Structure 1
Amino acid sequence: MRGRAWVGELRTWVTGVDPGLGRLRLAGVAVAAMVLAVAIMSVVRVVSGRPITVVLFAAVLAMISNLAVNEPAAGRRAATTALMIPPAAAAIVVGTLLSAHKLVSDIVFVLVMMLAVYIRRFGPRGMALGMALFMPYFFTQFLQARPAELPWLLIAALAGIGSTLLLRCWVFAEKPEKVLDRLLRATVAHVHAVAAAVIDVLEAPADDRPDIDRALAVLHRRRVRLNDTMLLVVDRIEQRSGDEPVADDRRLSLEVADLELAAERLAVATRRLADDPTRPGALDPELRRSMIAGVRGIVAATATGAPPGLRSTALDGARRAVDALVAEHSGVRPREQRVAFAVTRLADALEAEGRIPEPVGTALEDLADEEPRPGREPDRISLSTRQAVQVGVATSLAIVAGELISPARWYWAVVAAFVVFAGTASRGDVLTRGGQRLLGTVGGVVAGMVLAFLVGGHVIATLVLLAVCVFLALYLVRISTALMAFWITAVLALLYGLLGQFSVETLVLRVVETAVGGALGGLAGFLVLPKHTRAAFRDALDDTVAAVDACLDAAVDRITGRPPVDSPVELAREVDEQLGILRARAKPLDNPLPRRHGRGSYQRALRVLTAVDHYARALALASERLDVPEWAPTLDPAAARVRANIAALGGLLRPDGRGSDRQASKSPARYGTDGQGADGQGADGQGADGQGAEPDVESAEQVVDEAESWASTCDSAPLRRELLGAIRLLRRIDQVVVGFAGDLSGTAPDPDRAPGTPVRH
C-alpha cells in the first residue's frame, strides 16, 4: 500500500480508533483544566508564599473531577461537577483538623473510603461524589496539612474543580450533533476494518490453518469494536432524543443497527466458509476472486473521506462482483453464496446509511448496583455494601503494612488497596485489576527512570513531558489499568526529579508498596464477603439469558400483532449490554467449565451466546417491518420452544450446575399449551410439578418447520421472503443452542434424531 491509499487507510484507522473522540476529549480537557488550575494556584502561591503542594493539590483535583464525572447528559455533568465541591471541602476540613491525631485520622480515613465506595450504589453521581470525598482527605494526610493551611487548600480545591467545570462544561462543552456525526463516521470506519479483515481471511491459503486462525481472531476483535461503537451511537441518539424519540432518530437507530448487523453477517458467513472442512482445495479460484472483489468494493466505499460519487460506484461494483454467485440456484456452493448475499446486503445497508440526514442538534466505570430484574433473586449483600466492607478491611491492613514498610510513603499501599475495587464485581476481577496495576507500575518505574535521566532536571523539558505523560494516562485509562499505572508512575518519577527528590530507591519503594496494597486488596476480596468469580459469571449469564428471552418474546409479539411491553430493538440493545458484562465476567475464567464432559469452555459459551445475540438482534430488526397476526398459531409454539431451550442452556452453563431460578418466561397460556414441552417440562426448565427438575434442551425443528410451512404459503412474494427470513433466524438460534447443549452434555447432536427428542444431560 502506498501514496494516497496509505494516507486513506491511516485516516480511516484514526477515525475508528477513538469513536466520537471521547477519550481524546477527556484527556485534552483534563490536561487543560490541570494547566488552568496550576496557573491560578501559582499566582495564589506567589501572593501567599504557600508551598508548591497547594499547586499540585489543585492539579490533582482538576484531573480527578474530569475522570470521576461520567454523566452522559451535559446538564447533569455540570451539576455533578459542581456538587463535588461541598464533599471535597468537607473532606479537606475534617482531614486537616485530624491530621495531627494519627490514630483518629487513620480510622476516619478508612470510614471515608468505605463511604466513598458505598455511595457508588447511586450511580455515576455517587461515583463522582465518592471520589470527591476520598481524594481530598487522602491529600490532607499525605501533605500532613495543618489548620493554618486550611483556607489555601480550600481555594486549591475550588480552583481544581472549578477549572474542570469551566472548561469541560462551558468552554469546551460537547456539541451533541458533532459528537454523533463523529460516532457515525467511526461506525463506518469500523465496518471498513471488518471488511478488510474479511479480505485477509479470504486471501489466507486454504492449507495454512494457523494463518486462517490469526485472520479470524483479528476479524472477531474488529466485530467487537464495531458492536461497541454501535452502542455508543445508540446511547448518543437516546441522549439527544430524551424519553420520546422523534421519527428521524428512531429511523437513524434502526439504520445504524441494520448496518452493524449486515457487517456482522458478512463476518459470520466468512468465518463459516473458513471453517468449512471441505474448503482446502475446493474453493474455486474464480469464486475467490469474485468474493474478494466484492468485499474490496465495500472497503473502498467505507474509507474515511471517500467522495460520494466514488462511494456509490464502489458499492455498485461490489454488487456486480458477486451478482453471478447471488443468482446461482444449483445449491452446490451454499457457504460461498452466503458470503455473496452478505456482500450485497452490506452494500444496501451502506447506501441507506449514506442517506441518513446530517444529525441536527437538539469513564471511570459506572459502578452502581443494578436494579434486580423481575424474577431475579437479589444478592443478600449488594455489590456496593460488599465492596465497602472489603475496602475497609483492605485499606486498614494497607495503612499498617505501608507504615511498616515506609512511614513516609505508606499512602501508595493504601491507594493500591483502594483502587483495585474500582470496576470489579468478583474476587477474580480484583486479582486481575491488582495484577495489571502492579505490572503497569513496574513498567512505569523503568520508563520514569529513563525519562528523568534524559531531561536531567531541565524544568521546561520536564513540564512538557509531564503534560504528555498525564495526557497519555488519561487517554488510556478506559482501555487498560496497566497503561494508566504505567504513565502515572512515569509522572511521579518526573515530579520527583523536578522537586530534586528523585532516586531509584523511591521508585522501587513504590513498586513494593503497590504490590503490598494490591495483595491486601486481593486478600480482602477473597476472604471478606467474597463474591466468587463463577458466581459473578453465573449472575451475568442469567441476566443475558433473561435479556435474550425478553427480546425474542417482544419480537414475536410485534410480528404477530400484539403490542410488546418494550421495543424489540431496545431490548436487543440490552442483550448487547448484558453480553458485554458477561464477557467481562468471563475474563478471569480461562479454565474449562467445571464438571463438564463436553467440549465447552467459557469462551466457547461466549461465542455461542454472541451468535444467539446476533440472530436475536436480526429478528428484532425484522419485527419492525412485520405485522402478521394470523401467523401466531404456528409461530408462537416455535418461539416458546426456542425460548425454553435458551433458558435450559443457561441452566447447563451455570457453574453451580443448577438451572437458573431467575429466568421466568411469560405465561405460556397464550401459546395454546399448558406451558410444557413434549417431555412435560415448563419453559423455564422446571418440571411440571415445579420442583426444579434439571432442564432439557429439546430441538424445535418440528414446530419451526410448521411455522415455516405456513410462511411459505403467503401470497405476497416480498412478505413471504420477510417471513421466511424471520423464521430462519429463529431456526438458527435453536440450532446453535441445541448443538452447544449436546457438546456440554457429551452427546453430539444427531442429525438423524427425530424432532422433539430432548438432549438430556
Structure 2
Amino acid sequence: MTSPVDQARTRVRAGVGAGLDRVVQEVRDARDRFVASDPGRARQRIAVRVFVAVGSTLLVEWALAALLRQPPRLLILFGGVLAMLLATGVKDAGRRGAAVTVLIGTGLALLSASIGVLIAPHHLASLIGFVSISFLAVWLRRFGPRWFALGFVFWQSYFFTLFLQAPRSELPVLWVALLVAAGWVGLLLVTVLHPDPRRTLDRTVVALRARARAAISAALDVLDEPDNARTLRRLRRQLVQVDEVALLLDGQLAEPRALPAGVPPGRLRRWTVDVQIGLDAVCGAVRDIAARRDALPAAAVGDVRAVLTALGWGDRAGADRVAHALAAPDGRDVPALRRLGSAALFLLDTVGAWDSGALTDPARTDGSPDPLDVEEDDFEPAVTLVGGALPGSASLAERSLDQPDAARFAPSRWRLTTRQAVQAAVAAALAIVAGELISPQRFYWAVIAAFVAFAGAATSGETVSKSASRILGTVLGLFGAVALGEVTRGHPVWAALAVLVCIAAAFFVQVVSNSAMVFFFTVMLGQLYTLLGTFSDRVLILRLEETAVGALIGIGVSLLVLPTHSRATLRVARQTFFTALADLLDACGTTLRGEPVDRSALTLTVLVEDAGRQVVRARKALTRGRLFGANRLELRHRVSVLGACGAAARALAAAILDRGPDPALAAVCAELAEAARELAAAPTLRGTTPPGDGEARPGDGVRVLLDAVASATDGRRDPAYRAAARLNEALELLGPRSARETVPSS
C-alpha cells in the first residue's frame, strides 16, 4: 500500500507536470500568435530594412560632412529622412524596378526640396506651395502603387525644408546629402536588403500553419464553452485570418522566383485551398459537436478534445489514431463525430504533403489532371499584391463612385485619386490656417496630420478611424517622449540609437496598429528634438495640439468634401462577393454537366475568398469610422453569414473533384448561382432572422432538389450535399428570392 507521503509526492509531481505542460502550451501559443501576425516576416523585414538603411546612411552622411568640412546637421537629417522614405517605400519585386523607383524618388526629392528652399523666404508663396505639393502628391497615386510611395517622398521632402528651415546658401549641400543618401540606400536595396521571394513564400507557409493551429486552439475553447459568444467570435476571427494568410500566399505564387524549381503554382494553390477546406470542416464539426455536447458520452467528448490537441501540437501519429477512430462508424452514430474524424484525416494528409516534400517535388506525378486546376501551367493570379501585401479597398471605393449618367466634368465622375487630391489640398489649406493660429512656427504638424489622414484610406470611414488613432497615438507618445527624454538628455549617442529603434518599431507595428505607429513616431520626435537641443514639454504639447487640429480637419474634409462613403463601398464589396460566388457555382454546375469551364474553379474559389476579405475590411471601416448609426452587431452577424457562404462554396467545389456528371447536383448549383446573383443585384440585404413556423422559406425549392441528390447518393453523408445545404441555408438568411423559384416537376 502506498504511504500518504508517497501519495502526496505523486500529486505534487502530477501538479508540477501539468503546470509545465501549461507553460509549454502558452509559450507555443504565444510563438504561433507572433509568427501568424507577421506572414512572411514582412513587418520584421521592413523594420530591419529601415533600421539598417537609416543607421548606415547617418554614418555615411556624418563621414561626408567631415570630408566636406560642413556642419553635419543638414546632411544627416535630410539624408536620414530620404533613407527612411526609400527603405520603406521601395517595394518592387525585381532589382531593376527597385533601382528605377529609387532614381525617380531621388529626382522628386531634389525638385521638391529645391522648391521649398527657394520660396521659403516668401511666406505666402511657401504656404501655397505646400497646398499645391499636397495636391500633386496624392494625384500621382493614379499611376499605380509605385507612385503612392513616390508621392509621399515628394511631399515629405518639401515638408522637411519647412521643418529644418534650410537657407538658400545650403541648397548645394542639401543636393549632395540627398544624392549620397539615395545612392547608398539604392545600393542596399538591390543587394543585401533585397528580399528573397522563395524564402518569403516558405515563411508565409509557416504563418499559415501557425494560424491554423490558432484556429484549432479556438475550436477547443468552443468545445469547452459552447454557450460563450466570445469564443465563437474568436473562432470566426481566426478562420478569417487563416483566409487572409492563404490569399497572401496565393498572391506570392504569381512571382516565378518564389516557386520551388519545377513546381507549378497551381499545385501550391490547390494545397493552400485544401488546408482551408480541411480547417473549415474541422471547425464546423466542432461547432456542431459543442452544440450537442451534453447529449454525447464523456468518452466521445474526450476523443474530440484529444484529436484537436494532437492537431494543435502537430502530433501526427496521435491525431491520426484518434481521427481514424472517430471516422469509423460505431454505435454512437453521431454524424458530426465522423465528419470531424474525416476532416482531421484530410487536414493531416494535406499538411503531410508539405512536410514530406512530396508537394514540392518536381518529379511528382499525380496521374489524372486536377479537375480544379487542369491548366496548371497557365496560372491566373487571383490576387495582385501591392508592395507584397494584400490590396486595400481603393478599387471598391472607386467603383462605388461610378455614376455614368453624371455630366462629363461633374465631380461625381472624378477618379478616386482626383477626389482625394482635392481633399488633401483643402485639408492642408485649412490646417495651415488653424495651425498658424496655434503656433506660426509649428503649423506644419497640423498639415501633416491632415495630409496623412488620406494616406492608405479610401473611404471616409477609414479616414475617420485613422485620424482618431493618430490623436490617441500622439497623446500616448507624449508621455513616452517625456519619460525617455529625461533619460537620454545629454547622451546624444543613446538618443540617436533611440531614434533608430523608434523608427524601426513604428514601421514594424504599422500594419497592426496605426496608434502604435504614431506613438513611436512621437517618441522619436522627442529624441530628435533632444539631439537638436530644442526638447521641451511645451514643444510636445504644441505637437499634440497641432496634431489634434489637423486630424479633426482631415475628418471634417473627408465627410464634407467629395466624400467616399463607407456604406456605398460595403455595398459594392457585397455585390462583388455574390457575383464571384455565382461565377464559382456556375463553374461547378458546368463541371457537373460534363462540360468544359472557361476559368478554373480553383481560381474562382480564391476570388470568392478575396471578395469576402474585402467585405470584412469594408465592414470594419464602417463600424469603426462611422460616428453614428452603424449597427455593429447586425453588420457583424451578416458578415459572418457571408463568410459561411464562402466556406460552403469552397467545400462544394472540392466535393465535386472526383464526381462524374451529376445533373441533379448541377441543377442545385444553378439554382444557388441564381440566388447569389439576385442578392448581388439587391440594393440592400434584409435582416438575418429566419422565417417563422409555417412561413415559406426562400430555399425550399433548392431543398427539394437536394432531396433528389440525397436519394441518388449516400444520403445526407454526401459532402457535396452537406456543402450545398449549408450554402442554401446561409443564402436564405440574407434575402428573399424571387417568385421564379418553384419546385421543379419530377
Q: TM-score range by the shorter chain?
A: 0.7 to 0.9
Retained in 1: the 8 A contact 2:289–2:337? yes
For 1:113, which of 119, 127, 134 is the aligned residue? 134
- For residues 655 and 327 of structure 1, what CA distance do their matches in structure 2 show? 42
Shift of 1:367: 6.4
Quick one: structure 1 residues 517 and 324, their matched pair in 2 at CA, closer, same or farther if it must change by over 3 Å? same
Deviations 1:657-676 (A, max 9, x none): 9xxxxxxxxxxxxxxxxxxx
**TM-aligned CA distance change 1:495 to 1:241, over 3 Å:** closer
Asked if 2 retains the 8 angstrom alpha-carbon contact of 1:533 and 1:585, the reply is: yes
Kindly tell me: are residues 737 and 2 of structure 1, through their superposed partners in 2, closer, same or farther at Cα, counting changes over 3 Å?
same
| 1:17 Cα deviation from its structure 2 partner | 3.4
CA apart distance, 1:341: 3.1
Q: Given that residues 699 and 728 in structure 2 are in contact (C-alpha distance below 8 angstroms), is that contact kept between their aligned partners in structure 1?
A: no
Cα distance in 2 for partners of 1:635, 1:605 equals 27
Q: Aligned residue for 2:676?
A: 646
Say if 1:20 and 1:740 are closer, same or farther in 2 by CA, change over 3 A.
same
Name the residue aligned to 1:477.
510
- Find the aligned partners of 1:118 and 1:351 in 2 and give their Cα distance: 49
How far apart, CA to CA, are the structure 1 residues paired with 2:741 and 2:391? 45
Structure 1 vs Structure 2 CA RMSD:
3.6
Under a length normalisation based on structure 2, what TM-score does the superposition of the two structures give?
0.83
Is 1:295 equivalent to 2:300 in the alignment? no
Match of 2:16 in 1: none
Mapping of residues 390-469 of structure 1, within 5 Å: 390-469=423-502
AA at the equivalent of 2:85: I
TM-score under structure 1 normalisation? 0.81
**Deviations for 1:20-41, whole angstroms, at most 9, x for unmatched residues?**
1111110101111001211121
Q: Which consecutive residues of structure 1, in runs of 5 or more, have no partner in the other structure?
A: 302-313, 658-694, 714-719, 746-752
Q: Which residue is 1:519 aligned to? A: 552
Identify the residue that residue 564 of structure 1 maps to in structure 2: 597
Q: 1:79 to 1:621 in 2, by over 3 A?
A: farther
1:194 aligns with 2:215: yes
Show CA shifts across 1:643-693 (max 9, x none): 222233345573799xxxxxxxxxxxxxxxxxxxxxxxxxxxxxxxxxxxx
1:243 shift after superposition: 12
1:36 aligns with 2:56: yes
Q: 1:235 — aligned with what?
A: 251
Partner of residue 54 from structure 1, selected from 65, 70, 75: 75
> C-alpha distance in 1, partners of 2:359/2:484?
46
Q: Is the Cα–Cα contact under 8 Å of residues 535 and 655 in structure 1 kept in the other structure?
A: no
Equivalent position SS for 1:2: helix
Aligned to 1:97: 118
Superposed CA deviations along residues 285-318 of structure 1, whole A, max 9, x for unmatched, are: 11111011111221221xxxxxxxxxxxx32321
8 Å Cα contact 2:198-2:259 kept in structure 1: no
Q: Report the counterpart of residue 282 of structure 2 in structure 1.
A: 266
Could you say which residue in structure 2 is the equivalent of 1:124? Answer: 145
Matched, 1:69 2:90: yes
Deviations 1:71-119 (A, max 9, x none): 3455433432332122222212222222222222222221221121122
Q: Counterpart of 1:671? A: none
Aligned to 1:562, the other structure's residue is in SS state coil
Cα gap change, 1:706 to 1:439, in 2 (>3 Å): same
Aligned to 1:318: 319
Q: 1:224 to 1:38 in 2, by over 3 A?
A: same
Q: What is the rounded CA distance, in whole Å, between the counterparts of 2:592 and 2:92 in structure 1?
A: 36
Q: Of residues 97, 107, 114 in structure 2, which corresponds to 1:86? A: 107
Checking the alignment, whether the CA contact within 8 Å between 1:95 and 1:141 is kept in structure 2 is yes
Letter in 1 for 2:705: V
Distance 1:62 1:358, change over 3 A: farther
Secondary structure of the equivalent of 2:599?
A: coil
Q: CA deviation at 1:491?
A: 0.3
In structure 2, what residue type is equivalent to 1:639? C
Partner of 1:345: 346
AA partner of residue 638 (structure 1): V
Q: Is the 8 Å Cα contact of residues 427 and 553 (structure 2) preserved in structure 1?
A: yes
1:298 and 1:315 in contact (8 A); partners too: yes
Q: What secondary structure does 1:502 align onto?
A: coil
- Determine helix, strand or coil for the equivalent of 2:253: helix
Q: CA deviation at 1:247?
A: 5.0
Matches within 5 A, 1:176-191: 176-191=197-212
**In the alignment, is the contact (CA less than 8 A) between 1:38 and 1:58 conserved in 2?**
yes
**1:17 aligns to what?**
37
Q: What is aligned with 1:609?
A: 642
CA drift of 1:360 comes to 9.5
Question: Structure 1 residues 411, 725: CA separation in 2 closer, same or farther (over 3 Å shift)?
Answer: same
Q: Structure 2 counterpart of 1:352, which letter? A: A
3-state SS, counterpart of residue 421 of structure 1? coil
Give the secondary-structure state (helix, strand or coil) at the position aligned to 2:195.
coil
Would the alpha carbon gap of residues 538 and 320 (structure 1) be closer, same or farther in structure 2, given more than 3 Å must change? same
Q: Give 2:71's aligned amino acid.
A: R
Alignment of 1:307-386 (within 5 A): 314-328=315-329, 333-356=334-357, 370=395, 380-386=413-419
Letter in 1 for 2:306: A
Show the counterpart of 1:173: 194
Measure the CA separation in 1 of the matches of 2:699 and 2:677: 9
Shift of 1:431: 0.8
Which AA in structure 2 matches 1:38? Answer: L
CA distance, structure 1, for counterparts of residue 83 and residue 179 of structure 2: 9
Give the Å deviation of 1:245: 11
2:170 equivalent in structure 1: 149
Contact 1:545 1:646 in 2 (8 A): yes
Q: 1:453 to 1:241 in 2, by over 3 A?
A: closer
Query: What corresponds to 1:684 in structure 2?
Result: none
Report the Cα offset of residue 536 of structure 1.
Answer: 1.6
How far did residue 124 of structure 1 move?
A: 1.1
Structure 1 CA distance, aligned partners of 2:361 and 2:553? Answer: 51
Task: Indicate the residue corresponding to 2:20 in structure 1.
Answer: 2
Measured in 2, the distance between the counterparts of 1:605 and 1:156 equals: 54
2:236 aligned to which of 216, 220, 228: 220
Distance in 2 of aligned mates of 1:696 and 1:620 = 23
Question: Is 1:162 matched up with 2:180?
Answer: no
Partner of 2:372: none
Letter in 1 for 2:395: E
| Partner of residue 731, structure 1 | 725
Q: Which residue of 2 aligns with 1:700?
A: 702
Corresponding residue for residue 544 of structure 1: 577
The alpha-carbon distance between structure 1 residues 155 and 757, as it changes in their structure 2 partners (threshold 3 A), is: farther
Deviations, residues 163-208 of structure 1 (Å, cap 9, x unaligned): 332223211222222222222222222222222222232233x6xx
Structure 2 unaligned spans of 5+: 1-18, 363-386, 405-411, 688-696
* Identical pairs, percent: 31
- Residue equivalent to 1:676: none
Superposition deviation, residue 546 in structure 1: 1.8
Q: Is the 8 A contact 2:61 2:75 kept in 1?
A: yes
| Displacement after TM superposition at 1:58 (Å) | 1.2
Q: Whole-Å Cα distance in 2 between the matches of residues 272 and 73 of structure 1?
A: 48
CA distance in 2 between partners of 1:644 and 1:40 (Å): 64
Deviates more, 1:151-160 or 1:7-16: 7-16
Instruction: Compute the displacement of 1:160 (Å).
Output: 3.2
Q: 1:147 to 1:590 in 2, by over 3 A?
A: closer
Tell me if structure 2 keeps the 8 A contact 1:428–1:533.
yes
Q: What one-letter code is carried by the residue in structure 1 that aligns with 2:168?
A: P
Compute the displacement of 1:419 (Å): 0.6
Distance apart, 1:332 and its partner CA: 5.2
CA shift, 1:395, in A, is: 0.7
Q: Distance in 1 between matches of 2:321 and 2:259?
A: 43
Name the stretch that deviates more: 571-580 or 643-652. 643-652
Residues 222-259 of structure 1 show CA distances to partners (whole Å, capped at 9, x for unaligned) of 22322222222222222126999965432122112211
Distance (Å, rounded) in 1 between the aligned partners of 2:678 and 2:614 = 20
